[in-house]
Structure 1
C-alpha cells in the first residue's frame, strides 16, 4: 500500500520551494481549455486538407490563417501585411472561392477559422505596383482611399514608448490610416464584416497598439462586434495608452510577457513562470493569447532545438493561463523569404509543429484538464519540476544536462504509460509509488491516470 503526503505537509513543501499556493483561486477567470494553431503561409487547399485529414484527432479547436486580403505582389511573407484593396480576397494562399471552400471544410471537421486582419496601414513597398488581384496602387492611393484618409503631417515612429508617435506616425514606412476618421472607420468595418460573411469565426487584429484603443473599439462596434484578439507588443516603459492591459478592456491580447517567461524556463530559470502559478500575471487568464513563438519572433531569435521547442510548448500548454497558439510555418534561411515550395509538405520544408506527437499530447491534456492550473508543484532538483495537470502527471528537466531523480507521481496504480516515449513504454512504480528516472536535457515525462499503453 502506498503512502500519501498529508495535504498540509504538501502545501508547506510547495510553498517553501516555489512560493506557489497549491489551492487555485476558484473565483478567478479561467483560461481557455482549448488550443489553436497558426498555419502560417499555408494555401487554402492545403488548410482544407489539414482540417479534413489531421486536425480533428490532434485536439485543436481552431486555426489562424495568413491575411486573405489583396496585398502587394512581392516574394516575401511580409507582403501579406501590405494591403492594396480592402474589398478583394486574392492572396498568396488563393482566391475567394477557395477561401470559402476551406472554411466550410474546416467547419465540417469541427475546426474554427480565425482571420489575420490588417487595418492600421496600407502598402508602401516600391511606392507603386499591382496587387495580387491585379489592382494598381500607389502610396496613399488605393480603392476608396486617398491622401486625405491618412495621418498628417507624415512622421515615422522613433520613440515606441510615446503613444502619440506610435498611434499617429508610420510603422516603418507604412502609410498610417487615420482610424479616427469616420469614413476610414466604416471602410475598415466593412472589411471586417466581409470576413465574418466569408465564414471566419474570429480575427487577429494586426498592429492594434498602433491605433488608439478608442479607435479599435469604434471600428469593432461598426463591424458588429466580431470575436477578435489584438496584437499588442507590451513595453513596460511605454505610456499607459500603449499597455496590453489598456487593450484588454476591449478584447484578449497577445501576451509577449508569457513568451519571455517560457524562454527563461527553457534556459533553466523557472522563477518567471512561478509568478503565473501564484496568479500574479499582468492579464487575467481569459484575456491573454499565449505562444512560444509567432511568425515575427521566430525570425528574430535564435532557433530552438526540437527538445527545447517541445519543452516550451509543454510548459505553455500546462500553465493554466491564456488561450495558447502553436505556430506551424516553414523552414527558412532568409527571414524575409516565402516557403521554398508552395504546396505544404510536413516531410519537406514545413515545420508542422502542431502534428508533433509530444506537442499534441499536451494539447489533448490541456483540453482534458479544462484549462486548469497545475497543482502539486515540486522541485525534485533545482531544475527538475514535477506537477499534476488534470489527469496528467508531468516531469520536466529545464537544464542542459541529464538529470536522475526519484519521482512519486501520486498515482494509485503500479504501471503507467509514458505517453511521450513511444508505443508500449511502461513506467513501473515501486512499492512506495515512486520511480527512478533519468531525464535527458530538456526532457519530459507525461503519465496519465486514464491512459493505456498501446501495442507497438
Structure 2
C-alpha cells in the first residue's frame, strides 16, 4: 500500500510570484495574499492534485530564500493566521501542504548574522556560520568574511555542525508542525546540507507526525545518498527532467527510456524503491512550454510525467502552458503573478487543461501508477511504450513524438481480454498477444489491462 506522498500529484506554488509581491519586503505593507491563494484550492483539487508544495514563505527580504525570521510568514503574503487558514482550507479539500525549509543559509538580516556584524569576535553567534574569519572581508565590507551559498554573500551559510544551530532549527521545524500543521518539508539546497542534520530531522518529524514527508532539492549525484530510510523520502529528479525535454527536442526516446530503466527498472533500477519527485518545470528553470521546439510535444511530455515511476508535480501555470524564461540571470520570468479568474476565463475548457484533469483522475483512480513496477515494452527514437505492473493491476502507456501519425505493435505484458484507453474511453482487444494501436502525432495513450 503506497503512502499519501507516493500516490498523489503535487501542485507547486511560488507564492511571492503568484500574488505579485513587492521585490523588497516592507513591514509597512499590509497583505492579504493568503486569502488570494485560498481561491486556488478548488482549482488545484479540480486538477486532481492531492498536495501542494508552497514556498518560500517565511520572513525574508527579497526572493524568499534570504530568511530573516523562520517563525513567521512573509509580510508580503500576510499573517501567520492567514497561513493557518490556508492550510486548514487545503486540508478540508483533502490537500496536503509541504513548505520550503531553507536551512543551508539565511539572509544577512537574520538576527544571528546581524549580531556578528555588531559584536564581531564577542558575538555568541560567531560559530553559527561557516568559516567566519575576522581577518577577511567581502564586497559588503563587513570587516570579516564567511562561507556563503555558491559565494553569493547575500546568503551566508549556516554551520549545521554546530549543535546550537541544529537545536534552533529543530525547534523551528517542531513549531511549523505544531502551529501550522504542515505535512512535509522540501529542503532547499539539500545537497549542501549536513547528513546528520537531515537524519535527525527525519527522526524528529516522524515523531511529530508519522506520515510526514521530507523531499530535497538535489541536482547532481547519486540520489540514494539523500533519499533513503534514514534521511529524506524523495529528491528532485533533475535527471529525468532533462530527458523529458531533450528526448522530445531531439526526437530521441532512447534518452528518456535509458534514464527510466537506469532508475526504476524492476530488474535492477538503482532507485526502484524510491519515489523520486518528477517535474517538467519549476521556479528555477525555464518553463517547459518555452523549452520545447515542437509545442505539441507538451502532451506526451505530461503523459510521461504522470505515468512514469515517481511523484508528478505541476508548476503553477503549467496547466495553461504558460511560457517563461530566465532573462539576464533574473528568475522573474519564471515566477509571474497570475490571476486565477482571468486565467479561467481565458482558457475555459481548454483541451490541454482538460487532459491535465483527466491525467490527475487517472493517477488517483489507478494506484498501479504509484505502486507498479516499470517494464519497457517497445522503443524507437519516436515511439515508446512501457508497462506499470502491480500484484493486482497492469497498465500500458504509449507515446509518439513524431510529427506524423504512427502505428505501434505493443506486446501485452500480462494476460488480458481487453485494454481500456483511459484518455478516450475506447477499448482495444489484444491480437496474438499484442496491442495494435494508431497514435496521432505528438500524442499518447494510456491503457488499463482488463
Name the TM-score, length of structure 2 as normaliser: 0.70
- Which residue number in structure 2 is paired with residue 83 of structure 1? 67
Distance 2:431 2:204 in 1: 65
Contact 1:139 1:175 in 2 (8 A): no
Q: 1:31 touches 1:322 (CA, 8 Å); kept in 2?
A: no
8 Å contact 1:64–1:113 — kept in the other structure?
Answer: yes
2:399: which partner in 1? 396
Corresponding position: 1:60 with 2:49: yes
Which of 248, 261, 265 is residue 274 of structure 1 equivalent to? 261
| Cα separation, 2, equivalents of 1:222 and 1:176 | 23
Q: Give unpaired runs (5+ residues) of structure 2.
A: 19-32, 138-145
State yes or no: 1:175 paired with 2:164. Answer: no
Deviates more, 1:330-339 or 1:266-275: 330-339
The farther-off stretch of 297-306 and 247-256 is: 297-306
CA distance in 2, matches of 1:101, 1:95: 10
Secondary structure in 1 aligned to 2:356?
Answer: helix
Deviates more, 1:63-72 or 1:336-345: 336-345
User: CA separation in 2, counterparts of 1:200 and 1:107?
Assistant: 10
1:285-322, Cα deviation, whole Å (9 max, x unpaired)? 33522223332133699623653333223213222x33
**Alpha-carbon deviation of 1:391?**
6.3
The C-alpha deviation readout for 1:334-377, integer Å capped at 9, x for no partner, is: 44227554644435899xx9x83323333333331331436774
Change (3 A) 1:217 1:402: same
Q: Structure 1 residue 69: deviation in Å?
A: 0.7
Deviation, 1:178, is 1.0
Q: Flag the structure with higher helix content.
A: 2
Residue 102 (structure 1) aligned with residue 86 (structure 2): yes
Relative to the length of structure 1, the TM-score reads 0.69
Aligned-residue CA RMSD in angstroms?
4.3
Note if contact 1:62-1:114 (Cα within 8 Å) is conserved in structure 2: yes
Question: Cα–Cα, structure 1 residues 274 and 86, in superposed 2: closer, same or farther, change >3 Å?
Answer: closer
Q: 1:84 to 1:199 in 2, by over 3 A?
A: same
Aligned residues: 383
Alignment of 1:36-47 (within 5 A): 36-41=10-15, 42=18, 43-47=33-37
TM-superposed CA distance for 1:100, in Å, is: 0.7
- Structure 1: any 5+ residue segments left out of the alignment? 1-25, 157-166, 237-242, 451-456
Q: 1:184 is paired with a residue of what secondary structure?
A: helix
- The CA distance in 1 between the partners of 2:411 and 2:78, in whole Å, is 49
Which structure has more RCO (C-alpha within 8 Å, separation ≥ 6)? Answer: 1
Corresponding position: 1:419 with 2:401: no
Matched residue SS, 2:11: strand
Any conservation in 2 of the 1:341–1:349 contact (CA below 8 Å)? no
Asked whether the equivalents of residues 393 and 448 of structure 1 are also in contact (C-alpha less than 8 Å), the reply is yes
Which of 215, 224, 234 pairs up with 1:245?
224
Q: Tell me, yes or no, if structure 1 residue 71 matches structure 2 residue 72.
A: no
Deviates more, 1:252-261 or 1:101-110: 252-261
